Amino acid sequence: MFVLTVDQRKSRQRQDLVEAAMGALNGDALRPLVLPFDRTAGDEMQAVIAEPAVVVSIAMELAASSSWSVGIGIGPVKEPLPENTRAGAGEAFERARTAVTAAKAASGNIAVSGESPLAEQAEALLQLLVLVARKRSKMAEEAGILSDQGLTQQQIARQLGISQQAVSSRLQSGLWQESRRVLSVAESLLEGADR
């Protein structure tokens, strides 16, 4: 099982982002949560997730925004699960706490904690992917999101009002296809670390 513990960065200098983030993440039917995001303390929220692809998707989105430190804890949780996340307990919760603390100083503000050495390997890939995502231009990201939705480069070009060559250039400069392949490796590593 995976526990995500997420802490808002520079929360004393910014408005509280936790409520809006929880609303968006808990309402996303495409990314199912075992236990929804719940505010655990001040500017921190936590959720329990079963699927590695969902963990990676949410963790990348939050860390790439530069607004959050993201800790991924891997391990068992005490069952039966409580009604709300903040009442949860078990190794995955403890590891998520360790990971979010490490994430505050980590490259890309993301860290993973698990018993398996695969957790450390997944962390290295996720840190690299966050740094790539943060350097990506808005135009490259826009083209990449449409590509992820299954649109062809020709369809993306029509939608954005640019040439197909410009779409290709944006995807290449943003390392979009390469990042997607590495994301799938990170998901596999997390899945292996959870076994």
Q: What is the mean pLDDT of each run of 10 residues along the chain (195 residues)?
A: 95 84 94 96 94 97 96 97 94 98 96 98 98 96 94 96 96 96 97 95
Examine residue 122 and state whether it is found in any structural domain, yes or no: yes
Domain span holding position 154: 137-174
φ/ψ of residue 94, rounded to 5: -65, -40
Quote the pTM value: 0.93
Q: 3-state DSSP call for residue 5?
A: strand
How many independent structural domains does the chain possess? 2
User: What CATH number has the domain bearing residue 170?
Assistant: 1.10.10
Q: Are residues 120 and 43 in the same domain?
A: yes
Examine residue 179 and state whether it is found in any structural domain, yes or no: no
Examine residue 44 and state whether it is found in any structural domain, yes or no: yes
Q: Are residues 79 and 141 in the same domain?
A: no
Q: Are residues 143 and 129 in the same domain?
A: no
User: What CATH number has the domain bearing residue 31?
Assistant: 3.30.70
Q: Are residues 109 and 165 in the same domain?
A: no
Examine residue 156 and state whether it is found in any structural domain, yes or no: yes
pLDDT at 158: 96
Q: Are residues 113 and 166 in the same domain?
A: no
pLDDT at 41: 83
Q: Are residues 121 and 151 in the same domain?
A: no
Q: Are residues 27 and 115 in the same domain?
A: yes
